Amino acid sequence: SEGMKFINNHFFFIETRDATPSIDLILQIARSFVFKYGDAGSGVGLIIDPYNEVDPSRKSGKREDEHIRDFISECKKFARNHNAKVWCVAHPTKMPRDQDGKFPPPDAQSISGSAHWNNMADCILTVFRDYEEKTTEVLMRKVREQDLYGQIGSCKFEYNYKEFKFKPYDISHDW
């Protein structure tokens, strides 16, 4: 199909079967892809998914928040040096229920591990699935330079099982 051809021509998957990859190994492999396939004018993208499957080893005496700070710094340095966009999927801590017994959408402070995710990230996007309403909401929680990169806001979707794709949420839908 056209979709698979596009993916095969534009996406490269980094997978290590024998060991948990360190951020240094991930960035080293990504750097080799940039040099081999990258176009300096268009930039490239790197998605690290999920963060909790990157080697958590840290130097003796380094706290988790310091490790996360250094991880984010390495990703930002890679992005600057290679005209790249780096996205990191980091899951929230165990979310508390609200007074109605429902889970609220996560915010930037909900990301597991450290407040550095909120402090150091240029943009934070959260995805929230409401299983009762059968919707998925995408919330832009932080944009460091709003006039340049976007605005704080959200949009809600529902999954159309007939077409196998997400559609904007419409309370009056007829499918």
User: E strands within 51-118?
Assistant: 84-88
pLDDT at 77 over 90: yes
Indicate whether 174 pLDDT > 60: no
The mean pLDDT of the chain is: 87
Determine the average pLDDT of the residues in 130-143: 91
Rounded CA-CA distance 103/83 in Å is 38
Q: Are 68 and 119 in contact (CB under 8 A)?
A: no
Element (H, E) at 76: helix 64-81
Q: Between 122 and 149, whose confidence is greater?
A: 122
Q: pLDDT value at position 175? A: 46
Q: pTM for the whole thing?
A: 0.83
Per-residue pLDDT at 41: 56
- Check pLDDT > 80 for residue 171: no
CA–CA gap between residue 78 and residue 7 (Å, rounded): 23
What pLDDT sits at residue 70? 92
Report the alpha-carbon distance of residue 83 to residue 132 in Å, rounded.
Answer: 41
Query: Which band of pLDDT confidence, cut at 50, 70 and 90, is reported for residue 148?
Result: confident
pLDDT in tens, 21-43: 999 999 999 998 888 876 655 67
Nearest to 84 by CA among 24, 147, 40, 123: 40
